[in-house]
Amino acid sequence: MSWHREYKEQWKEIIETVAAEEHRTTQMVEKDTIQSMILSGISQSDLPFVFKGGTSLSKAYGLIDRFSEDIDLSMNRKPTEGEKKQTKNLILSLAEDLGLILTNPEDIQSRHSYNKYVFKYESFFSEIPLDHVHMFVSVYPQQSIPDVVKQIKGATSHKLREEFSQLKNMPSLWTRSYFVSTAGNVSSETIEWYVNTQKTRD
């Protein structure tokens, strides 16, 4: 089972349309869609959930306009041990129904007062160039471009080696080369739109 079920092409088209209209990446809209499905399932529960954070302010209360990064949940009172177990079972059941894979099961304990669930899912838009990565970055004038590039490469290398142990034996994940260009008088929104839609243009 996957979150889009048998409507893969229809969902893909909807997400691409929304991304183009909102000037957002397709990955961002896709993630937002899946999280909205999870929120919808949670809202139907009888457990005393309180929706917190920017995602909930946007999706549950309509107070702000934003796309989702994560979901923050709490309860309006101290939950019983039974409610903690119900919460865990509910979240895992919703995830399974949507075809999400829990990546940190060893961290989840229903007896804990706080749990962080990290899921991965089948994406329509996961393709990236094999030999390079495009980034649109804003930095302070006093920051050195080589230092910024070095920090990005160092942080991403550390994260990748942490997640994929087979990479630890490689002496380097990035080459020393990079290309940088300024935006000039073009607005950031225009550049983001161009980057996000370049795959859809001939």
Bridge partners, 30 (sequence order): none
Which has the closest alpha carbon to 18: 65, 70, 72, 61?
65
d(CA 3, CA 98): 4
Does the annotation mark 194 as catalytic?
A: yes
Question: Whose CA is closest to 163, among 103, 121, 110?
Answer: 103
CB 64 within 8 A of CB 47: no
Consecutive H or E run containing 72: strand 72-75
CB 17 within 8 A of CB 69: no
Residue whose token pair is 């804003």: 138
Catalytic entry in 61, 121, 178, 194: 194
List residues with catalytic annotation. 194
